[in-house]
Amino acid sequence: MPKIGMEPIRRKALTDAAIEAIGARGSMDVTMSDIAGRAGVSPALAHHYFGSKEQLITASVRALLRDLRRDTVEALKTARSHRARVSAVIAVSFSDKQFSEDVVAAWLAFYVDAQRAPEIRRLLSVYARRLHSNLMSGLAPLCGQYEAERIAEGAAAMIDGLYIRKALGTGPARHDAVALVEDHIETQLLEIRGRTV
């Protein structure tokens, strides 16, 4: 007989294990047995909760997005200025949790899988829109919509690029990644201020 209240705990254990397994392998070439073993449950129970590996992978991407959204909302609550909002979004993108090796490698594998999996592609589009919107919430009041769009696009591309470099083992440390994106933003804002003086 199943224990009452165990389903959410086991589901989370399975999505965490999927991210860990995919991150360790660097690809989607993992089985439900691999994931279930890491989660400490049977493959049959993993299939019971998620039906298929594809459904578990989709749930894992959703879990990453929920964590990222929650962390971003929390960080934005303490931002005291528009510029601080931008810094909060960048800091969360490179937090110890988000920029860990397993999570970064899993994100890269999800991007590759998105080429054949429409639901993963859709979820990654949600991520991109949220990142853009969060950056814009701080940038637009500082420099106007047009310039903010351009700066936000560059910052998002840098964040994604630094994730790729981290997955390949050639990226900078977390604090250096933050500094690179911050430098891009600050340079762009200074240039705009210089043109308007």
185 in a structural domain: yes
Measured between alpha carbons, how far is 72 from 134 in angstroms, rounded to an integer? Answer: 8
Report yes or no on 101 lying in a domain: yes
For the chain, what is the domain count?
Answer: 1
CATH of the domain at 136: 1.10.357.10
Please give the residue range of the domain that contains residue 142: 59-196
When pLDDT is averaged across residues 4-30 and rounded to a whole number, the result is 87
Instruction: Please state, in angstroms and rounded to a whole number, the distance separating the CA atoms of residues 151 and 146.
Output: 9
> In this structure, is residue 112 part of a structural domain?
yes
The answer to whether residue 42 sits within a structural domain is no
Q: What is the mean pLDDT of residues 28-51?
A: 91
**Domain-located, residue 9:** no
The pTM for the full model equals 0.88
Q: Convert the pLDDT of each residue in 146-192 to its tens digit.
A: 999 999 999 999 999 999 999 888 989 999 999 999 999 999 999 99
- Asked whether residue 28 is assigned to any structural domain, the reply reads no
Measure Cα distances from 168 to 8, 108, 154 in Å. Answer: 33, 10, 21
Is residue 100 included in any domain, yes or no?
A: yes
Is 126 inside a domain boundary?
Answer: yes
Question: What is the structure's pLDDT at 1?
Answer: 41
